[in-house]
């Protein structure tokens, strides 16, 4: 009989066992007894060491119970001084863009300062909070940040210390927010997004989050690592626990992980054009590549009127001064969020 590799065999067994534990299966449906199987493998699998068995058992158990159980390395973290806000921008229509690097103490002030700084004396009509690739486990910072957009006193979040309410203070930004999410939005960032939606202060766009919003305790291990175990759920204002399946956006925008990272680095980058250039440069025999281009002519308004009177050439691609000064946002998630805020601005102005 062909033998399974040591690590593969024990890992498969541990995964099956711990999946049963995770879903509350009874003793009869969990399969064989772990100690019995472990002992048989140890005694009869040729060439296996106890260290190999132990490593496989730990990996199988932890991976199958993730994200509620995880191993934390003993390396020193250097992000304690990491800026809470990593990027800001101002878009047409009085829309501020704020990229949150992590959710931590002082986030509310950092976001407020960033919005006011980018707007100056201009009117603020909306805020895009970009929390893609954002984590953090400081749940106490969540209500503080949410208060920027929540005008009234209302319950927000419970992370094991009782339900925390917004203060209803008067110095809120007073504008709608859109929140950008992806598969790597984790922990307290997920909680902040969910709180803003539940409070009616923000609309979520992008893809489902990591599902790691939970209160956890860390237990030291003999090798210097720590075992992080979820000890309590994080609950929203209505008492519902945040799911390990993640936060589902209100508007789902599907972008491949590769494109998402490219747009995250440069939201104005035209990936289609980049791909065409790359494809054209694959062969030196493609003589037409790079030569068959649409001629771009720049006209001011007077010249444009004159050209139209004299007969406009349809082969010319016309770009006005305004077009040149306003690059197009190519990031699908960000573009959708800006469109939503522009629409809300029009609605609010029509009602005022």
pLDDT in tens, 155-178: 999 999 899 999 877 779 999 999
- The stretch 62-72 carries a mean pLDDT of 87
Q: What stretches of the chain show up as alpha helix (H) in DSSP?
A: 6-22, 34-44, 50-65, 107-119, 141-146, 188-198, 257-265, 271-280, 301-310, 321-325, 332-351
Q: How far is Cα 168 from Cα 22, in angstroms, rounded to an integer?
A: 40
> Are 253 and 206 in contact, with CB atoms under 8 Å apart?
yes
User: What's the pLDDT score for residue 173?
Assistant: 93
Tens digit of each residue's pLDDT (9 = 90 or more) over 222-249: 989 999 899 999 999 999 999 999 999 9
Extents of the domains making up the chain:
6-65, 79-217+231-265, 271-327
- The stretch 31-38 carries a mean pLDDT of 84
Reply yes or no on whether the pLDDT at 210 is more than 60.
yes
Using alpha carbons, select from 153, 135, 146 the residue that is nearest to residue 177.
146
Q: How far is Cα 196 from Cα 175, in angstroms, rounded to an integer?
A: 12
CATH class of 79-217+231-265: alpha beta
User: What's the pLDDT score for residue 7?
Assistant: 45
Query: What is the number of other CB atoms lying within 10 angstroms of the CB of residue 7?
Result: 16
Query: For residue 127, with 0-12 CB atoms within 10 Å meaning exposed, 13-18 middle and 19 or more buried, which class applies?
Result: buried
Q: How far is Cα 19 from Cα 35, in angstroms, rounded to an integer?
A: 17
Tens digit of each residue's pLDDT (9 = 90 or more) over 41-62: 889 999 888 899 888 888 888 8
Looking at 99-103, 192-196, 294-298, which range is the least confident one? 294-298
Cα 94–99–105 angle (5° rounding)?
Answer: 115
Reply yes or no on whether the pLDDT at 80 is more than 90.
no
User: If you write DSSP's letter for every residue of 161-190 in order, what string do you get?
Assistant: S-PEEP---S----S-EEEEE-TT--THHH
> Are 263 and 331 in contact, with CB atoms under 8 Å apart?
yes
Adjacent-strand bridge partners of 23: none
**Residue linked to tokens 């939005």:** 185
Reply yes or no on whether the pLDDT at 284 is more than 60.
no
């Amino acid at each position: 009989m062909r033998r399974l590799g040591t690590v593969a065999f024990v890992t498969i067994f541990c995964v099956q066992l711990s999946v049963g534990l995770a879903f509350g299966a009874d003793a009869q449906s969990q399969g064989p007894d772990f100690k019995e199987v472990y002992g048989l493998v140890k005694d009869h699998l040729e060439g296996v060491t106890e260290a190999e068995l132990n490593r496989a058992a730990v990996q199988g158990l932890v991976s199958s119970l993730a994200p509620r159980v995880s191993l934390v390395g003993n390396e020193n973290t250097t992000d304690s001084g990491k800026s809470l806000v990593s990027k800001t921008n101002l878009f047409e229509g009085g829309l501020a863009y704020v990229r949150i690097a992590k959710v931590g103490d002082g986030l509310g002030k950092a976001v407020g300062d960033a919005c006011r700084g980018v707007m100056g004396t201009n009117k603020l009509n909306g805020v895009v909070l970009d929390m893609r690739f954002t984590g953090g486990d400081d749940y106490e910072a969540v209500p503080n940040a949410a208060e920027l957009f929540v005008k009234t006193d209302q319950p927000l979040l419970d992370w094991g210390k009782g339900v925390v309410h917004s203060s209803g203070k008067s110095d809120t930004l007073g504008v709608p927010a859109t929140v950008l999410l992806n598969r790597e939005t984790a922990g307290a960032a997920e909680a902040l997004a969910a709180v803003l939606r539940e409070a009616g202060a923000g609309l979520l766009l992008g893809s489902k989050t990591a599902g790691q919003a939970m209160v956890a305790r860390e237990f030291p291990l003999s090798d210097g690592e720590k075992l992080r175990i979820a000890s309590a759920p994080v609950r929203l204002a209505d008492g519902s626990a945040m799911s390990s399946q993640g936060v589902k956006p209100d508007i789902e925008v599907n972008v491949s992980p590769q494109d998402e990272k490219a747009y995250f680095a440069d939201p104005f980058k035209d990936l289609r054009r980049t791909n065409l250039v790359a494809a054209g440069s694959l062969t030196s025999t493609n003589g037409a590549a790079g030569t068959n281009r649409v001629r771009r002519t720049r006209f001011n308004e007077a010249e444009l009127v004159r050209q139209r009177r004299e007969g406009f050439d349809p082969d010319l691609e016309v770009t006005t001064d305004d077009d040149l000064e306003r690059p197009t946002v190519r990031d699908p998630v960000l573009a959708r969020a800006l469109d939503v805020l522009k629409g809300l601005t029009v609605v609010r102005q029509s009602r005022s």
